[in-house]
C-alpha cells in the first residue's frame, strides 16, 4: 500500500477543508473526540512526509533518542527505522520525547542491511552522516526526493556497513574548533534543512499521504 498521495482526492490547497474529513469519518463509524484536537490531528497528518525517513543505528542514550523523536514529529517524519544489533533498544525518556513517541511509526531491524534493503525497495536515497573526505555537505544534497537520513551511535558513529551501503555520505559544516555536534543536534539540523527544502518546493502545501492512509492514520490517532 503506497503512502504517497496522487492528490486527486484533495483540494489544491491541502487536505479537505478543515473538518470535512472528520465529518465523513463521523458518518462511517461512531467515535468520541474533542473536535479541536481532531482538527489538529488532521492538519498534522496533512503535513506528514512519507518520503522522509530517519534511520537510527544503535543510538543508546534515551534522552538523545527522545530529543531526536521530537524533531521527527516537528518536521513531519512519519517513519523511524530503529536498527539495534549491539546496544539494546533504550527505554525512551518521556520528558525528552515530550509526547512525540505515539505520533510516529517505528520499524525495528536487527541489521543495517535489512533496513537498507527495505528502503531501496521503496525507492529512497540513503544518506548517512559521517565525517570523512568523501562526504559532502548536507546543504549540497537534494532532500526533496524520497530520502532516508542515517544517524549512528553517539561514540562510534555509523557502522562501516551503514557507510558503504549508503548512496551518499553527508556532514554538517562546522566553523569552530570542535568537529561534530551531539547526535540529537545533528538530527535536528538535518531534518530542519530537509523541511526548508521541501517547504520551498511546496511539499507542505498539499498532503503527501494518500486519502486512504490519511483516514487510516487519523482513526488510529483518535484512539490514542
Cα 152 to chain centroid distance, Å, stands at: 16
Cell numbers representing residue 161 in the block: 556497513
Bridge partner residues of 171 (DSSP): 137
Query: Which helix (H) or strand (E) covers residue 106, if one does?
Result: strand 105-109
Mean pLDDT of 191-204: 98
pLDDT digits (tens, 9 = 90+) for 60-107: 999 999 999 999 999 999 999 999 999 888 887 665 666 888 899 999
Q: CB pairs under 8 A, 24+ apart, for 179-183?
A: 179/131, 180/131, 182/64, 182/154, 183/59, 183/64, 183/68, 183/151, 183/152, 183/154
Residue 27: is its pLDDT beyond 60? no
**Residue 196: phi, psi to the nearest 5?**
-60, -50
pLDDT confidence tier of residue 36, bands split at 50, 70 and 90: confident
Q: Is the pLDDT of residue 24 over 70?
A: no
- The C-alpha cell 486519502 sits at 211
Domains and CATH numbers, the chain: 1-47+204-224 (no CATH), 50-201 (3.40.1280.10)
50 and 208 Cβ atoms separated by less than 8 Å: yes
Is the separation of the CB atoms in 209 and 16 below 8 Å?
no
CA gap 211, 215 in Å, rounded: 6
Residue 114 pLDDT: 98
Report the DSSP beta bridge partners of residue 168. Answer: 127
- How do strand 147-151 and strand 168-171 relate by DSSP bridges? unpaired
Q: Is 50 exceeded by the pLDDT of residue 8?
A: no
Computed over every residue of the chain, the mean pLDDT equals: 86
The residue among 66, 188, 44, 207 whose CA lies nearest residue 129 is 188
Helix (H, G, I), strand (E, B) or coil at 58: coil
The segment with the largest mean pLDDT, out of 2-6, 55-59, 93-97, 101-105, is 55-59
In 141-212, the DSSP E strands lie at 147-151, 168-171
Amino acid at each position: 500500500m503506497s503512502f504517497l498521495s496522487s492528490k486527486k482526492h484533495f483540494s489544491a490547497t491541502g487536505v479537505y477543508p478543515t473538518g470535512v474529513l472528520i465529518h465523513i469519518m463521523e458518518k462511517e463509524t461512531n467515535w468520541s473526540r474533542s473536535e479541536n484536537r481532531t482538527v489538529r490531528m488532521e492538519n498534522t497528518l496533512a503535513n506528514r512526509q512519507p518520503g522522509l525517513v530517519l534511520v537510527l543505528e544503535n543510538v543508546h542514550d534515551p534522552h538523545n533518542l527522545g530529543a531526536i523523536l521530537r524533531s521527527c514529529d516537528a518536521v513531519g517524519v512519519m517513519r523511524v527505522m530503529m536498527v539495534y544489533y549491539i546496544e539494546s533498544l533504550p527505554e525512551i525518556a518521556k520528558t525528552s520525547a515530550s509526547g512525540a513517541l505515539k505520533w510516529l511509526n517505528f520499524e525495528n531491524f536487527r541489521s543495517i542491511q535489512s533496513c537498507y534493503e527495505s528502503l531501496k525497495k521503496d525507492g529512497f536515497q540513503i544518506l548517512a552522516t559521517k565525517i570523512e573526505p568523501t562526504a559532502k555537505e548536507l546543504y549540497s544534497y537534494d532532500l526533496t526526493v524520497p530520502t532516508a537520513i542515517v544517524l549512528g551511535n553517539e561514540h562510534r558513529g555509523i557502522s562501516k556497513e551503514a557507510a558503504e551501503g549508503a548512496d551518499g555520505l553527508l556532514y554538517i559544516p562546522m566553523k569552530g574548533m570542535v568537529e561534530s555536534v551531539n547526535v540529537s543536534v545533528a538530527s535536528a539540523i538535518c531534518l530542519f534543512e530537509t523541511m526548508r527544502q521541501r517547504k520551498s518546493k511546496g511539499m507542505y502545501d498539499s498532503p503527501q499521504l494518500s486519502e486512504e492512509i490519511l483516514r487510516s492514520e487519523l482513526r488510529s490517532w483518535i484512539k490514542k
